[in-house]
Amino acid sequence: MTNKTYAKVFRFRGGELCLDFANTIQWPRSKRIEMLETPGRLAEWAGLAGIAQTETAGLTERDVTRAVQLRDEVITFFTFLHGGQPIPDSLLTAFTSSINAARSRQHLRQHSSGFEWQSNTGGTLDMILDRVALSMAHVITGDQLACVKACAMCDWLFLDTSRNHSRRWCSMDSCGVHVKMRSYNERRRG
């Protein structure tokens, strides 16, 4: 498998939906590789994430633009946060709007073992963006916020659930192996 093909494969390593959505872009060697290029790719991501069917369901190029805008806002939020900078009011306003819109489309539904929130969405795009916005609300207002990190190798966002919160990579299977091998080689040389 070539690097170009590998870069286009969706990987769910973030630990939260909003982080996995943020990870639909890659920056190898300072070159932006967009993974949500088409309505079909957006639908594919939503299907793999368990949000919607993998068909395009009427998604358009404009929908992709809206989805990429939300994704870029998630990345910008965590870039400011990790840089120790205050989050711009415009970004907080954008998230508030997205979260409020998502919550306005929810209703409580009873089932045999209790209750659950269910969304009344206007379409596939609303379903996708609502789930991402609600995931973001969950992460930034809960205990998980301090556990969000950027991978030392690929810059993907992930939830550090390790016991001492010292993990530096998104996945041991890929980036973690490279970090450990680099450390091992440095110790051998040193």
- Which ranges of 49-176 does DSSP label H, i.e. alpha helix? 61-82, 89-104, 124-141
Q: What per-residue confidence (pLDDT) applies to 175?
A: 81
Task: Enter the pTM of the model.
Answer: 0.86
d(CA 25, CA 70): 13
CA 65 vs CA 17, 39, 53, 149: distances in Å: 19, 10, 20, 26
SS3 59: coil
Compute how many other C-beta atoms are within 10 angstroms of the C-beta atom of residue 7.
14
Q: What is the chain's percent helix, strand, coil content, to nearest 5?
A: 55, 10, 35
What pLDDT tens digit does each residue of the chain (190 aa) get? 344 444 578 989 899 999 999 999 987 556 788 999 999 999 999 999 988 765 656 889 999 999 999 999 999 999 999 999 999 999 999 999 999 999 999 888 898 999 988 877 667 888 899 999 999 999 999 999 999 999 888 888 999 998 998 888 888 777 877 777 777 888 888 7
d(CA 174, CA 123): 35
User: Would you state the pLDDT for residue 66?
Assistant: 95
- CATH topology for 3-189? Jann2411-like fold (1.10.3300)
Supply the DSSP string of 21-45, one letter for each residue: HHTSEE-GGG--EES--SHHHHHHH
pLDDT at 53: 65
